[in-house]
Structure 1
Amino acid sequence: MGTAPGPVMPVAPGRATIPGTRRPRDAERTRAQLLAVATGRFARNGYATTTVRDIADDAGVNVALISRYFTSKEGLFEACLAEAVTEVRRDSDDTPLDRIAAALAHKIAGPDREDRLPERFLLLLRSSGDQHAEDMRLGVLRTISERMASAAAGHDDGSALLRAQIVLSAALGIILMRGSLGLQPLAGATEQDLAAPLADLVNALCAKDRTS
Protein backbone atom coordinates (compact mmCIF):
# COMPACT_ATOMS: atom_id res chain seq x y z
CA MET A 1 0.00 0.00 0.00
CA GLY A 2 1.20 3.54 -0.79
CA THR A 3 1.68 6.15 1.82
CA ALA A 4 -1.24 8.55 2.12
CA PRO A 5 -0.38 12.02 0.85
CA GLY A 6 0.17 14.69 3.47
CA PRO A 7 -1.98 17.80 3.75
CA VAL A 8 -1.66 20.35 0.97
CA MET A 9 -0.31 23.62 2.35
CA PRO A 10 -1.98 26.76 0.97
CA VAL A 11 0.13 29.13 -1.07
CA ALA A 12 -0.11 32.80 -0.13
CA PRO A 13 -1.14 35.08 -2.98
CA GLY A 14 1.77 36.61 -4.87
CA ARG A 15 4.38 34.24 -3.43
CA ALA A 16 6.49 31.80 -5.42
CA THR A 17 5.22 28.23 -5.49
CA ILE A 18 8.72 26.70 -5.44
CA PRO A 19 9.94 26.20 -1.84
CA GLY A 20 12.99 28.24 -0.86
CA THR A 21 12.68 30.77 -3.70
CA ARG A 22 11.91 34.48 -3.48
CA ARG A 23 10.65 37.00 -5.97
CA PRO A 24 13.67 38.66 -7.66
CA ARG A 25 14.33 42.29 -6.75
CA ASP A 26 14.24 44.92 -9.46
CA ALA A 27 17.83 46.10 -8.98
CA GLU A 28 17.63 49.12 -11.28
CA ARG A 29 14.43 50.37 -9.69
CA THR A 30 15.82 49.90 -6.18
CA ARG A 31 19.02 51.73 -7.11
CA ALA A 32 17.03 54.64 -8.59
CA GLN A 33 14.85 54.77 -5.47
CA LEU A 34 17.91 54.91 -3.21
CA LEU A 35 19.37 57.72 -5.33
CA ALA A 36 16.13 59.72 -5.14
CA VAL A 37 15.77 59.31 -1.38
CA ALA A 38 19.46 59.99 -0.71
CA THR A 39 19.46 63.12 -2.89
CA GLY A 40 16.61 64.56 -0.86
CA ARG A 41 18.22 63.61 2.45
CA PHE A 42 21.68 64.93 1.55
CA ALA A 43 20.22 68.13 0.08
CA ARG A 44 18.02 68.91 3.10
CA ASN A 45 20.16 67.66 5.98
CA GLY A 46 23.71 67.67 4.66
CA TYR A 47 26.19 64.84 4.37
CA ALA A 48 27.39 64.51 7.96
CA THR A 49 23.99 64.20 9.64
CA THR A 50 22.48 61.81 7.07
CA THR A 51 22.94 58.12 7.85
CA VAL A 52 22.63 55.13 5.57
CA ARG A 53 20.00 53.79 7.97
CA ASP A 54 17.90 56.94 7.40
CA ILE A 55 18.14 56.48 3.65
CA ALA A 56 17.37 52.75 3.72
CA ASP A 57 14.37 53.29 6.01
CA ASP A 58 12.98 56.05 3.80
CA ALA A 59 13.42 53.84 0.73
CA GLY A 60 11.92 50.83 2.48
CA VAL A 61 14.88 48.55 1.75
CA ASN A 62 17.53 46.67 3.68
CA VAL A 63 20.48 48.88 4.58
CA ALA A 64 22.86 46.25 3.14
CA LEU A 65 21.66 47.17 -0.36
CA ILE A 66 23.46 50.52 -0.10
CA SER A 67 26.76 48.68 0.21
CA ARG A 68 25.78 46.36 -2.63
CA TYR A 69 24.92 49.13 -5.09
CA PHE A 70 27.17 52.00 -3.94
CA THR A 71 29.90 50.43 -1.74
CA SER A 72 29.51 53.04 1.02
CA LYS A 73 27.84 56.25 2.12
CA GLU A 74 30.57 58.17 0.31
CA GLY A 75 29.89 56.19 -2.85
CA LEU A 76 26.17 56.89 -2.59
CA PHE A 77 26.77 60.63 -2.12
CA GLU A 78 29.09 60.72 -5.12
CA ALA A 79 26.48 58.88 -7.24
CA CYS A 80 23.82 61.41 -6.17
CA LEU A 81 26.14 64.30 -6.96
CA ALA A 82 27.10 62.86 -10.36
CA GLU A 83 23.42 62.53 -11.27
CA ALA A 84 22.74 66.08 -10.03
CA VAL A 85 25.64 67.47 -12.05
CA THR A 86 24.37 65.73 -15.20
CA GLU A 87 20.80 67.01 -14.75
CA VAL A 88 21.81 70.55 -13.80
CA ARG A 89 24.18 70.80 -16.78
CA ARG A 90 21.44 69.52 -19.09
CA ASP A 91 18.91 71.99 -17.70
CA SER A 92 21.28 74.99 -17.69
CA ASP A 93 21.48 75.66 -21.40
CA ASP A 94 22.62 78.90 -23.05
CA THR A 95 19.69 81.09 -21.98
CA PRO A 96 19.61 84.65 -23.39
CA LEU A 97 19.98 87.44 -20.85
CA ASP A 98 16.36 88.56 -21.07
CA ARG A 99 15.20 85.03 -20.22
CA ILE A 100 17.56 84.29 -17.31
CA ALA A 101 15.21 85.57 -14.58
CA ALA A 102 12.23 83.62 -15.93
CA ALA A 103 14.39 80.49 -16.31
CA LEU A 104 15.62 80.78 -12.71
CA ALA A 105 12.08 81.28 -11.41
CA HIS A 106 10.98 78.17 -13.28
CA LYS A 107 13.90 76.11 -11.98
CA ILE A 108 13.12 77.17 -8.42
CA ALA A 109 9.31 77.04 -8.32
CA GLY A 110 7.92 75.85 -11.65
CA PRO A 111 4.64 73.97 -10.97
CA ASP A 112 5.33 71.31 -13.61
CA ARG A 113 8.74 70.32 -12.26
CA GLU A 114 8.80 66.64 -11.31
CA ASP A 115 12.55 66.03 -11.52
CA ARG A 116 13.55 67.46 -8.11
CA LEU A 117 15.84 70.00 -9.81
CA PRO A 118 15.80 72.37 -6.80
CA GLU A 119 17.05 69.48 -4.62
CA ARG A 120 19.79 68.78 -7.14
CA PHE A 121 20.86 72.43 -7.11
CA LEU A 122 20.86 72.37 -3.32
CA LEU A 123 23.00 69.22 -3.34
CA LEU A 124 25.70 71.26 -5.09
CA LEU A 125 26.12 73.19 -1.83
CA ARG A 126 26.79 70.06 0.21
CA SER A 127 30.28 68.70 0.80
CA SER A 128 31.41 65.19 1.76
CA GLY A 129 35.06 66.16 2.05
CA ASP A 130 35.95 64.00 -0.97
CA GLN A 131 38.11 65.91 -3.46
CA HIS A 132 36.59 64.30 -6.54
CA ALA A 133 33.10 65.27 -5.33
CA GLU A 134 34.35 68.81 -4.63
CA ASP A 135 35.73 69.11 -8.15
CA MET A 136 32.43 67.94 -9.65
CA ARG A 137 30.22 70.36 -7.76
CA LEU A 138 32.53 73.35 -8.18
CA GLY A 139 32.89 72.56 -11.87
CA VAL A 140 29.16 72.65 -12.59
CA LEU A 141 28.65 75.83 -10.55
CA ARG A 142 31.49 77.45 -12.49
CA THR A 143 29.97 76.34 -15.81
CA ILE A 144 26.53 77.75 -14.97
CA SER A 145 27.95 81.12 -13.91
CA GLU A 146 30.21 81.28 -17.00
CA ARG A 147 27.22 80.71 -19.29
CA MET A 148 25.31 83.43 -17.48
CA ALA A 149 28.26 85.82 -17.73
CA SER A 150 28.60 85.09 -21.44
CA ALA A 151 24.91 85.90 -21.94
CA ALA A 152 25.42 89.19 -20.09
CA ALA A 153 28.70 90.41 -21.56
CA GLY A 154 29.03 88.42 -24.76
CA HIS A 155 32.71 87.82 -24.01
CA ASP A 156 35.08 86.61 -21.29
CA ASP A 157 34.80 89.33 -18.67
CA GLY A 158 35.87 89.01 -15.02
CA SER A 159 33.33 91.55 -13.81
CA ALA A 160 30.52 89.79 -15.67
CA LEU A 161 31.52 86.47 -14.12
CA LEU A 162 31.48 87.95 -10.62
CA ARG A 163 28.03 89.43 -11.21
CA ALA A 164 26.77 86.13 -12.61
CA GLN A 165 28.07 84.27 -9.55
CA ILE A 166 26.24 86.72 -7.29
CA VAL A 167 22.99 86.03 -9.17
CA LEU A 168 23.60 82.28 -8.95
CA SER A 169 24.31 82.60 -5.21
CA ALA A 170 21.02 84.42 -4.75
CA ALA A 171 19.13 81.68 -6.63
CA LEU A 172 20.76 78.96 -4.53
CA GLY A 173 19.97 80.93 -1.38
CA ILE A 174 16.31 81.10 -2.41
CA ILE A 175 16.24 77.32 -2.90
CA LEU A 176 17.88 76.82 0.51
CA MET A 177 15.49 79.13 2.35
CA ARG A 178 12.45 77.67 0.61
CA GLY A 179 13.39 74.04 1.19
CA SER A 180 15.46 73.72 4.34
CA LEU A 181 14.22 76.73 6.29
CA GLY A 182 10.68 77.21 4.97
CA LEU A 183 10.94 80.97 5.40
CA GLN A 184 7.69 82.70 4.46
CA PRO A 185 6.64 84.34 2.23
CA LEU A 186 9.62 83.09 0.20
CA ALA A 187 8.80 79.42 0.76
CA GLY A 188 5.30 79.85 -0.62
CA ALA A 189 6.20 82.10 -3.55
CA THR A 190 5.14 80.85 -6.97
CA GLU A 191 7.09 80.99 -10.21
CA GLN A 192 5.19 84.17 -11.13
CA ASP A 193 5.93 85.73 -7.71
CA LEU A 194 9.66 85.15 -8.12
CA ALA A 195 9.99 86.20 -11.76
CA ALA A 196 9.79 89.99 -11.25
CA PRO A 197 12.20 90.28 -8.27
CA LEU A 198 14.68 87.98 -10.02
CA ALA A 199 14.39 90.11 -13.16
CA ASP A 200 15.22 93.19 -11.06
CA LEU A 201 18.28 91.41 -9.69
CA VAL A 202 19.50 90.14 -13.07
CA ASN A 203 18.94 93.51 -14.74
CA ALA A 204 20.69 95.41 -11.95
CA LEU A 205 23.75 93.18 -11.98
CA CYS A 206 24.08 91.62 -15.41
CA ALA A 207 22.40 94.01 -17.83
CA LYS A 208 24.90 96.66 -16.75
CA ASP A 209 27.58 94.76 -18.67
CA ARG A 210 25.56 95.14 -21.86
CA THR A 211 25.62 98.92 -21.63
CA SER A 212 29.08 99.49 -20.21
Structure 2
Amino acid sequence: MTSPVRRRDAAATRQLLLEAARRRFAADGYAATSVRDIATDAGVNVALISRYFESKEGLFRACLRGTVDDLKQSVFENLPLEDAPRMLAEKMAISQPKEANQLLLLLRSSGDETAERIRLDTLGSLARRLAAAAGSEPDDPKVLLNAQIVLATALGAVILRSAGLQPLAAADSDQLAEPLEKVISVLLPKT
Protein backbone atom coordinates (compact mmCIF):
# COMPACT_ATOMS: atom_id res chain seq x y z
CA MET A 1 0.00 0.00 0.00
CA THR A 2 1.42 3.35 -0.99
CA SER A 3 1.18 6.36 1.24
CA PRO A 4 -0.92 9.26 0.05
CA VAL A 5 0.93 12.02 -1.76
CA ARG A 6 1.19 15.10 0.41
CA ARG A 7 0.28 18.21 -1.53
CA ARG A 8 1.99 21.45 -0.72
CA ASP A 9 -0.21 24.44 0.01
CA ALA A 10 1.98 27.43 -0.87
CA ALA A 11 -0.23 30.00 0.86
CA ALA A 12 -0.41 27.95 4.06
CA THR A 13 3.35 27.31 4.04
CA ARG A 14 4.05 31.00 3.46
CA GLN A 15 1.74 31.88 6.38
CA LEU A 16 3.45 29.32 8.65
CA LEU A 17 6.82 30.87 7.80
CA LEU A 18 5.55 34.40 8.47
CA GLU A 19 4.10 33.45 11.86
CA ALA A 20 7.25 31.59 12.90
CA ALA A 21 9.43 34.47 11.70
CA ARG A 22 7.36 37.08 13.59
CA ARG A 23 7.72 35.08 16.79
CA ARG A 24 11.48 34.63 16.32
CA PHE A 25 12.22 38.18 15.18
CA ALA A 26 10.12 39.66 18.01
CA ALA A 27 11.70 37.44 20.66
CA ASP A 28 15.31 37.21 19.48
CA GLY A 29 15.80 40.11 17.06
CA TYR A 30 16.90 39.99 13.46
CA ALA A 31 20.60 39.26 13.97
CA ALA A 32 20.07 36.38 16.41
CA THR A 33 17.40 34.70 14.30
CA SER A 34 18.46 32.08 11.78
CA VAL A 35 16.43 30.95 8.80
CA ARG A 36 16.98 27.38 9.95
CA ASP A 37 15.28 28.16 13.29
CA ILE A 38 12.35 29.79 11.50
CA ALA A 39 11.94 26.83 9.16
CA THR A 40 12.14 24.38 12.07
CA ASP A 41 9.51 26.36 14.01
CA ALA A 42 7.27 26.35 10.94
CA GLY A 43 7.87 22.64 10.31
CA VAL A 44 9.08 23.17 6.75
CA ASN A 45 12.27 22.85 4.74
CA VAL A 46 14.60 25.84 5.06
CA ALA A 47 14.82 26.13 1.26
CA LEU A 48 11.21 27.32 1.20
CA ILE A 49 12.27 30.62 2.78
CA SER A 50 14.32 31.40 -0.32
CA ARG A 51 11.51 30.18 -2.55
CA TYR A 52 8.82 32.40 -1.00
CA PHE A 53 10.82 35.36 0.36
CA GLU A 54 14.21 35.24 -1.43
CA SER A 55 16.17 35.76 1.81
CA LYS A 56 16.05 36.37 5.54
CA GLU A 57 15.83 40.10 4.79
CA GLY A 58 12.91 39.48 2.44
CA LEU A 59 11.15 37.46 5.12
CA PHE A 60 11.76 40.23 7.69
CA ARG A 61 10.40 42.81 5.24
CA ALA A 62 7.30 40.67 4.67
CA CYS A 63 6.78 40.41 8.44
CA LEU A 64 6.99 44.19 8.81
CA ARG A 65 4.68 44.80 5.87
CA GLY A 66 2.14 42.37 7.31
CA THR A 67 2.31 44.12 10.66
CA VAL A 68 1.81 47.51 9.05
CA ASP A 69 -1.10 46.29 6.95
CA ASP A 70 -2.79 44.80 10.03
CA LEU A 71 -2.30 47.98 12.05
CA LYS A 72 -3.52 50.20 9.23
CA GLN A 73 -6.66 48.12 8.77
CA SER A 74 -7.49 47.66 12.43
CA VAL A 75 -6.30 50.86 14.07
CA PHE A 76 -5.17 53.61 11.76
CA GLU A 77 -7.32 53.41 8.63
CA ASN A 78 -9.68 56.42 8.53
CA LEU A 79 -9.35 56.71 12.28
CA PRO A 80 -11.43 59.43 13.93
CA LEU A 81 -9.42 60.74 16.86
CA GLU A 82 -12.24 60.09 19.31
CA ASP A 83 -11.97 56.37 18.44
CA ALA A 84 -8.16 56.28 18.80
CA PRO A 85 -8.04 55.51 22.55
CA ARG A 86 -10.45 52.60 22.22
CA MET A 87 -8.76 51.19 19.13
CA LEU A 88 -5.27 51.51 20.61
CA ALA A 89 -6.50 50.01 23.89
CA GLU A 90 -7.98 47.04 22.04
CA LYS A 91 -4.66 46.45 20.27
CA MET A 92 -2.77 46.78 23.55
CA ALA A 93 -5.15 44.47 25.41
CA ILE A 94 -4.69 41.63 22.97
CA SER A 95 -4.02 38.27 24.44
CA GLN A 96 -3.10 36.61 21.18
CA PRO A 97 0.69 36.06 21.07
CA LYS A 98 0.62 36.48 17.28
CA GLU A 99 -0.66 40.05 17.52
CA ALA A 100 1.64 40.92 20.41
CA ASN A 101 4.59 39.63 18.37
CA GLN A 102 3.55 41.86 15.48
CA LEU A 103 3.66 44.96 17.69
CA LEU A 104 6.91 43.93 19.34
CA LEU A 105 8.43 43.33 15.90
CA LEU A 106 8.10 47.05 15.18
CA LEU A 107 10.41 47.76 18.10
CA ARG A 108 13.15 45.25 17.36
CA SER A 109 16.28 46.48 15.71
CA SER A 110 17.20 44.31 12.76
CA GLY A 111 20.88 45.04 12.30
CA ASP A 112 20.14 45.39 8.59
CA GLU A 113 20.12 48.92 7.13
CA THR A 114 17.30 48.28 4.66
CA ALA A 115 15.11 46.52 7.21
CA GLU A 116 15.78 49.33 9.71
CA ARG A 117 14.67 51.93 7.21
CA ILE A 118 11.46 49.97 6.59
CA ARG A 119 10.83 49.68 10.33
CA LEU A 120 11.44 53.39 11.01
CA ASP A 121 9.35 54.43 7.99
CA THR A 122 6.55 52.25 9.33
CA LEU A 123 6.66 53.81 12.78
CA GLY A 124 6.81 57.28 11.24
CA SER A 125 3.82 56.54 9.02
CA LEU A 126 1.77 55.37 12.01
CA ALA A 127 2.61 58.57 13.92
CA ARG A 128 1.63 60.72 10.91
CA ARG A 129 -1.70 58.90 10.73
CA LEU A 130 -2.33 59.72 14.38
CA ALA A 131 -1.47 63.37 13.76
CA ALA A 132 -3.82 63.45 10.76
CA ALA A 133 -6.59 61.89 12.87
CA ALA A 134 -6.29 64.91 15.17
CA GLY A 135 -7.12 67.09 12.21
CA SER A 136 -3.63 68.54 12.22
CA GLU A 137 -1.00 68.81 9.54
CA PRO A 138 0.77 65.45 9.96
CA ASP A 139 4.17 66.92 9.09
CA ASP A 140 3.98 69.77 11.61
CA PRO A 141 7.02 68.99 13.84
CA LYS A 142 5.21 69.76 17.13
CA VAL A 143 2.13 67.71 16.24
CA LEU A 144 4.28 64.90 14.87
CA LEU A 145 6.34 64.84 18.07
CA ASN A 146 3.17 64.57 20.14
CA ALA A 147 1.82 61.81 17.88
CA GLN A 148 5.10 59.93 18.27
CA ILE A 149 4.81 60.23 22.05
CA VAL A 150 1.28 58.79 21.90
CA LEU A 151 2.59 55.92 19.75
CA ALA A 152 5.53 55.40 22.14
CA THR A 153 3.10 55.27 25.07
CA ALA A 154 1.00 52.60 23.39
CA LEU A 155 3.98 50.52 22.28
CA GLY A 156 5.65 50.93 25.69
CA ALA A 157 2.51 49.56 27.30
CA VAL A 158 2.67 46.54 24.97
CA ILE A 159 6.26 45.90 26.10
CA LEU A 160 5.39 46.15 29.79
CA ARG A 161 2.31 43.96 29.32
CA SER A 162 4.42 41.30 27.57
CA ALA A 163 6.86 41.48 30.49
CA GLY A 164 3.98 40.71 32.87
CA LEU A 165 3.99 44.00 34.80
CA GLN A 166 0.84 44.08 36.93
CA PRO A 167 -1.76 45.52 36.93
CA LEU A 168 -1.00 46.63 33.35
CA ALA A 169 -0.62 43.06 32.06
CA ALA A 170 -4.06 42.07 33.35
CA ALA A 171 -5.89 45.21 32.23
CA ASP A 172 -8.58 44.81 29.60
CA SER A 173 -9.29 47.21 26.77
CA ASP A 174 -11.85 49.18 28.80
CA GLN A 175 -9.31 49.77 31.57
CA LEU A 176 -6.67 50.83 29.05
CA ALA A 177 -8.92 53.14 27.02
CA GLU A 178 -9.47 55.72 29.76
CA PRO A 179 -5.82 56.58 30.46
CA LEU A 180 -5.04 56.45 26.72
CA GLU A 181 -7.88 58.87 26.08
CA LYS A 182 -6.34 61.26 28.62
CA VAL A 183 -2.90 61.01 26.99
CA ILE A 184 -4.32 61.55 23.51
CA SER A 185 -6.58 64.44 24.51
CA VAL A 186 -3.62 66.29 26.05
CA LEU A 187 -1.07 65.56 23.33
CA LEU A 188 -3.33 65.61 20.27
CA PRO A 189 -6.26 67.91 21.01
CA LYS A 190 -8.80 67.90 18.18
CA THR A 191 -8.27 71.01 16.04
Does 2:92 align with 1:108?
yes
Question: Where is the helix percentage greater, Structure 1 or Structure 2?
Answer: 2
Does 2:107 align with 1:125?
yes
List runs of 5+ in structure 1 lacking aligned partners.
Answer: 1-10, 17-21
Secondary structure at the aligned position of 2:14 is classed as helix
Larger radius of gyration: 1
**1:167: Cα distance to partner?**
0.5
Contact kept, 8 Å, 1:42 with 1:123, in 2: the verdict is yes
Contact kept, 8 Å, 1:153 with 1:160, in 2: the verdict is no
Paired residue for 1:149, among 116, 121, 131? 131
Paired residue for 2:32, among 35, 42, 49? 49
The worse-fitting range, judged by mean Cα deviation, of 89-98 and 115-124 is 115-124
1:138 aligns with: 120
**Percent of pairs identical after alignment?**
49
Give distance in 2, aligned partners of 1:96 and 1:23: 48
With over 3 angstroms needed to count, the CA separation of the structure-2 counterparts of 1:143 and 1:75, relative to structure 1, is: closer
Give distance in 1, aligned partners of 2:39 and 2:46: 5
Give distance in 1, aligned partners of 2:61 and 2:188: 33
Give distance in 2, aligned partners of 1:140 and 1:188: 28
Q: Which amino acid aligns with 1:155?
A: E
Aligned Cα root-mean-square deviation (Å):
2.3
1:164 aligns with: 147
**1:50: Cα distance to partner?**
2.1
Give distance in 2, aligned partners of 1:29 and 1:153: 41
Give distance in 2, aligned partners of 1:138 and 1:29: 29
2:15 aligns with: 32
List runs of 5+ in structure 2 lacking aligned partners.
Answer: none
Q: How many residues in Structure 1 have an aligned counterpart in Structure 2?
A: 189
TM score, norm. by length of structure 2: 0.85
Contact kept, 8 Å, 1:66 with 1:72, in 2: the verdict is yes
